[in-house]
Structure 1
């Protein structure tokens, strides 16, 4: 397990999936987090979110756990891993019951360590909706720089929203450490 101050990142366990499906797949959360329209999934479906295929290249999925009590706190991933350009994207989703505890900032920090130290990447990127203040705050607290805004880039529940692109280079990360 990779650990931060408040959270740990571990492999996804089979018993995590029903909890995540219950709490992180409502229509608004799905649309905001994935940019895809919500749809229902049959229990046990291989296509349902949060199922992990460990053979898939370019993505690493984690379950986030609260170090204080070991409870499942959410999900995190490093995706779009490009070994040639040494870049990747990161994302996370926290259960409603743990939001506001500083976990997002800690998850981003641990994902940065994982990307830069374990994978030897040189750049990490986050894309998030412009009104996602908690994610923007977590990224900026970890040294990410706002690099641009894609206007009306995401269709979310009947309206177009702006998307913010944030980036962090390994040298900036090292200098801040």
Structure 2
């Protein structure tokens, strides 16, 4: 079981099936907000979709391919954060995250991204962590920028978001650059 206490208010815990209802509820209540930047909302329309996501994530965690954690803030699940992919051959992890709309503006995600970066580079002994963000998603872009990540470039039309392509800005942190 993966549990990582970040501070008095925030921790990460490996997603479990018993978290499915809360994750789906949080997804559903923040659906319009999240839909602006996340491509999977139209494929998560019922509780079973969330359960399938957790099951897939659990299998990938056991195989060392990813880490899907719930973000717990003051005792309540408020979002998801983790490594969408861990590439052991290249010693690189790719951070992904989302937070329920009502929990924005508390510095939660910056703390989560910092803890994940530290975990990847110090505990997992990886060489690089990447965060890819839609170019126009300024709130999300501020997180790697705040943490001192290097903006490495832009991938044009990297993702289809319902009715349009969006570019991704790639941010990277190398182990020898980390605090």
Pair in the same fold by TM > 0.5: yes
1:65 — aligned with what? 72
Query: Is the 8 Å Cα contact of residues 104 and 134 (structure 1) preserved in structure 2?
Result: no
> Which string of whole-angstrom CA distances, capped at 9 and with x for unpartnered residues, describes residues 82-123 of structure 1?
212111101111111211111111010110111011210010
Higher helix share: 2
Of 54-63 and 159-168, the range deviating more from structure 2:
54-63
2:92 — aligned with what? 87
Q: Structure 1: give runs of 5+ residues left out of the alignment.
A: none
1:16 — aligned with what? 19
Change (3 A) 1:30 1:49: farther
Alpha-carbon RMSD across the aligned residues, in angstroms, is 2.3
TM-score, length-normalised on structure 2? 0.83
TM-score, length-normalised on structure 1? 0.84
> Which string of whole-angstrom CA distances, capped at 9 and with x for unpartnered residues, describes residues 121-140 of structure 1?
01011111012222211111
Change (3 A) 1:83 1:77: same
* Alpha-carbon distance in structure 2 between the residues aligned to 1:40 and 1:2: 27
Q: CA deviation at 1:45?
A: 4.9
Structure 1 residues 1-177: aligned runs within 5 Å: 1-5=3-7, 6-24=9-27, 26=31, 29=34, 32-33=37-38, 35-36=39-40, 38-45=42-49, 48-51=52-55, 52-54=57-59, 55-66=62-73, 69-173=74-178, 177=179
Q: Structure 2: give runs of 5+ residues left out of the alignment.
A: none
